[in-house]
Structure 1
Amino acid sequence: MNYNNSVLIGNWSEERLKNEYEFKLFLRKRDRRELLLQRSRTLFSNLLRERPLAISGTYVQYGFNVQVVASDMPAKAKIANGKQQYGLAMSILVRERQVDYVQNICDDCLMTMSPIVTPCCRNTFVIISAENENVYGTEMKYGDEFLLKAENYGEPEAAPLYVRYSTSSTPAPADRMPMRLSTVKDSNCRFTTMPLLPRDRLEGLGSPVKTGAKLIIKNCVADKSLCVMNQNWMQTFFGPECGVTCRNYIDIHGRYTAENVFTLVSDVETKTKD
């Protein structure tokens, strides 16, 4: 006679009851959508859902969605098939350890530069005037202070989140990533822009910012430029990405290098699916 889990004696009975309990636990987690696979799918669906950018015209306007793109930076640490791809978009990162209890963007999420430049929930931000948040449709000008607000489309009633640069009062490692989302809206969340070329900065101050124009984005408190940490690549839940911080990269001629050059993109439409 072959003994197995169906024989209700001794260890076989205990093993059968254990299997039944684990199967019921699995079904309960599945019904509550608590399985890691389900949570991962929900996270991808929420953060990678394509968001059409409202066409604001030739100039960047307050209240519209924008992407912060470093178009001159290589999209990958290594060249694939002998052809280098360019373009990194500032994005929100939900780390692997947060998947168990987070399916949307939240406070203290890291900011990274991602090769995924298709407009989606994790790489589009609402540009808001620092003086009056109710301003809508007004052209943003060089020298104006603004906020980058992250839209939580999964939980619209949640507290607003802003891109914030945390200054360090003590010497910190070179690979420190101080750009995060925060519910605290203070002066560290304020940024400003200036033209890329030095000869245009004095005359360009106060002129409207064109969409897609190359410019310098500076944090108002640190007085340092937003930059790509191109030497700090890491494997994330969304693929290889690199860090972003505020640091000045200037060559021997006093010009900003590609790490500090960004564009505010607000006139790109997403692909339509049939």
Structure 2
Amino acid sequence: MAAYRPGVLIGNWNEEAYLEEDRIRDFMRKKERGELLTQKINKLQDKLLKKIHLSVSKDGFVHFGDTVILLNPPNKSPVENYPGACGSLTLAVDLDEISIYSVESLQVPCGVSAVKSVDPTGRNTFCILSVGGDAVGEPIRFGQNFGLGTTGGLSDQMLYLASDHKSFMRSAKKSYLQQVFLTDERSYLTCWKAVFLDPQLRLEYEGFPVPANSEIIITHCHTNRSLAVPRNFWTRSYFGKEYEVVCHTYLDSHKAEEDKNYWKIVTGDPGDEDGTMIERPNPHPAGIRRNEFHEET
């Protein structure tokens, strides 16, 4: 009788061989369909980091249909206990809301966050949308309603920036202030308006075109609270720290909004196809000749 050797097949070897063949066939089938986990991760990364070209403003104003990034400029005063949170931040889709198992579509409602990256990519670019039938290419004006939609870098379905009154069941995760999120349904909850930075000149500039790359206030029409980045509430992701975005109006002792509420609608650099106007901002809106505004109106 032959002695036992490691090469001798014992037990349910035939069944195990068939199971191994099934696993190989299943692997090859998923690979052909692009359903492997590594393929989904690469697909997600490609969409997140996909370079987006911003619209170029020839007249210095923001227009319906423009592809832009929303930038919260550097804080003028350091955030207490958070010295690294004083630089520029851009509005972006919250990665915590994305599942690598379903990268083709985002689950709604989906959260947003503020990130340190100022390069226009699939996750931090938005399109200016009309809510009143205004034609693409027309400038948006102070006090006029508009929408903000994702550019398609993450999903074939456009999602819209929205907010609603906070409640016991609905509020921001960290600060418990009014939540900002993305939804797939357009309604009055997805309407925003640009407000002139200086409270004393707001009535005077009502109805004038909104300058690109200049500091403004973006206010939610339904709740009348302004888009803000408190900067002292953050989470850690694969891309570093990401800061909570809320709808809350921060007022100083003079009843003027603080820099937590300041935003720039950033457009592309006409001299550089892949560049932005972050490094080449327009003058403050108050510095633009008022005759130009009157000519536009």
| TM-score interval (norm. to shorter) | 0.7 to 0.9
Cα distance in 2, alignment partners of residues 113 and 188 from structure 1: 20
Q: How does 1:62-101 map to 2 (within 5 A)?
A: 62-73=64-75, 86-95=87-96, 98-101=99-102
Structure 1 residues 17 and 96 mapped into 2: Cα distance closer, same or farther (>3 Å)? farther
Matched, 1:215 2:216: yes
Structure 2: tracts of 5 or more residues without a match: 276-297
Structure 1 residues 25 and 127 mapped into 2: Cα distance closer, same or farther (>3 Å)? same
Structure 1: tracts of 5 or more residues without a match: none
Structure 1 residues 177 and 13 mapped into 2: Cα distance closer, same or farther (>3 Å)? farther
| Deviation readout 1:1-33 (Å, 9 max, x if unpaired) | 7855x6421166665555544444333332222
Q: Compute the TM-score of the two structures, normalised by the length of structure 2.
A: 0.77
Bigger CA drift: 180-189 or 87-96? 87-96
Name the SS of the counterpart of 1:34 in structure 2: coil
Cα distance in 2, alignment partners of residues 27 and 230 from structure 1: 46
Contact 2:73 2:87 in 1 (8 A): yes
Give the fraction of aligned pairs with identical amino acids, expressed as a percent: 27
- 1:139 corresponds to: 139
Q: How does 1:121-200 map to 2 (within 5 A)?
A: 121-132=122-133, 135-153=135-153, 156=156, 158=157, 160-170=158-168, 172=171, 174-175=175-176, 178-200=179-201
1:147 aligned partner, one-letter code: G
Contact 1:47 1:104 in 2 (8 A): no
The alpha-carbon deviation at position 185 of structure 1 amounts to 0.9
- Please provide the CA RMSD for this pair: 2.9
Cα distance in 2, alignment partners of residues 270 and 259 from structure 1: 30
Cα distance in 1, alignment partners of residues 72 and 98 from structure 2: 28
Name the SS of the counterpart of 1:50 in structure 2: coil
| Deviation readout 1:161-194 (Å, 9 max, x if unpaired) | 2111132244856346722221211111111111
Structure 1 residues 256 and 154 mapped into 2: Cα distance closer, same or farther (>3 Å)? closer
The alpha-carbon deviation at position 256 of structure 1 amounts to 1.5
- 1:263 corresponds to: 264
Q: How does 1:224-235 map to 2 (within 5 A)?
A: 224-235=225-236
The alpha-carbon deviation at position 261 of structure 1 amounts to 0.7
- 1:108 corresponds to: 109
Name the SS of the counterpart of 1:229 in structure 2: coil
1:165 aligned partner, one-letter code: S
2:65 aligned partner, one-letter code: G
- 2:39 corresponds to: 38
Name the SS of the counterpart of 1:56 in structure 2: coil
Contact 1:96 1:236 in 2 (8 A): no
Q: Compute the TM-score of the two structures, normalised by the length of structure 1.
A: 0.83
Cα distance in 1, alignment partners of residues 94 and 112 from structure 2: 6
Structure 1 residues 241 and 96 mapped into 2: Cα distance closer, same or farther (>3 Å)? same
Cα distance in 2, alignment partners of residues 53 and 2 from structure 1: 72
Bigger CA drift: 20-29 or 61-70? 20-29
Contact 1:92 1:105 in 2 (8 A): no
Cα distance in 2, alignment partners of residues 118 and 12 from structure 1: 56
Cα distance in 2, alignment partners of residues 11 and 79 from structure 1: 63
Structure 1 residues 270 and 235 mapped into 2: Cα distance closer, same or farther (>3 Å)? farther
Cα distance in 2, alignment partners of residues 176 and 236 from structure 1: 22
Cα distance in 1, alignment partners of residues 88 and 4 from structure 2: 64
Contact 1:7 1:13 in 2 (8 A): no
1:162 aligned partner, one-letter code: Y
Cα distance in 2, alignment partners of residues 263 and 119 from structure 1: 14
Name the SS of the counterpart of 1:31 in structure 2: helix
Bigger CA drift: 21-30 or 230-239? 21-30
